[in-house]
Amino acid sequence: MLALAFATVATGASRPRLPLASGPSDVVRQVVMSGGVVGTGSLLFNLAAGRPAALRRARRWAAVSAGFSGGRATCQWVHKTDDVFARLAGACCAGALGAPSLPQVPVRVLSFAALTLLIERLEPLAEGQLRSIQLSTPGIEERRRPWRYVGNTPQAAGAARNVFGERVGEGVRPGSRLERWIESLNRELGHVQ
C-alpha cells in the first residue's frame, strides 16, 4: 500500500474528478460498487494464486475499499465538497473496517489517516514538479536542434558518447565495437548465430 502511495505521488497522477455524492443512495451505490469490484477481484486473484483463506482476504479487501469510498462519499454528502476531510474520513473508515481484530482498529485507523495526510502533503509537490518538467520541455523549434539534457541544462548532442566511444542514440550499428563485443559474448556462451 505504501508503494502504491509513493507511485501515485511520484507519477503525479491526479485524482479523477467524480461527481459528489448527493444523498444516501449515492453513498450506498459507491460502497456496493467499490466493495464488489475489489472484493471480487481479490477473490479471483487469491483463488488463482492458490492462497489459503482466499474468501477471508477478499472480504477484508472489499471492506477496506468500501470503507474508503463510503467514508469519502458520506463526507461529500454532508459537507457538499470533496476535500482533505472527505479523504481522511474515507481513510479512517477503511482502517476501521480493514482491521482483522478489534484491538487493531486504532492502529489501523491512525496508520491509514497518516498515510492519507502524507499523500495529501506530497501530492502538490509532485504535481508542481510535473508542471515544471512540462514547462521546461523545449518547443517544436528547439526539438529540431540536436540537443541532449544533462541534468537540467541543454548541451550539444555531439559531445554524447557511450562507453564504447560511439555516439549516444544511434543504436547498434553493424560492425561497431558494441556489436563486436556482443558477438564475442555470444560466442563465449555458445550462442553462435
pLDDT (tens place) for every residue of the chain, 193 residues total = 445 545 555 554 555 566 888 899 999 999 999 999 999 999 999 999 998 999 999 999 999 999 999 999 999 999 888 888 999 999 999 999 999 999 999 999 999 999 999 988 888 777 766 666 655 555 544 554 555 555 555 555 455 666 666 666 666 667 777 777 788 888 888 876 5
- The residues, any chain, with a CB within 8 Å of residue 4's CB and separated by 6 or more, are none
Residue 119 CA neighbour count, 13 Å, CB half:
23
* DSSP three-state, residue 99: coil
CA proximity to 146, closest of 136, 134, 137, 158: 158
- Which run of H or E residues covers position 97? helix 84-98
Residue with cell 543504436: 171
Question: What are φ and ψ of residue 138, in 5° steps?
Answer: -65, 155
Burial 134-167 (b: 16+ CB within 10 A, else e): eeeeeeeeeeeeeeeeeeeeeeeeeeeeeeeebe
Q: Which residues contact 74 (CB under 8 A, 6 or more apart)?
A: 21, 27, 89, 93
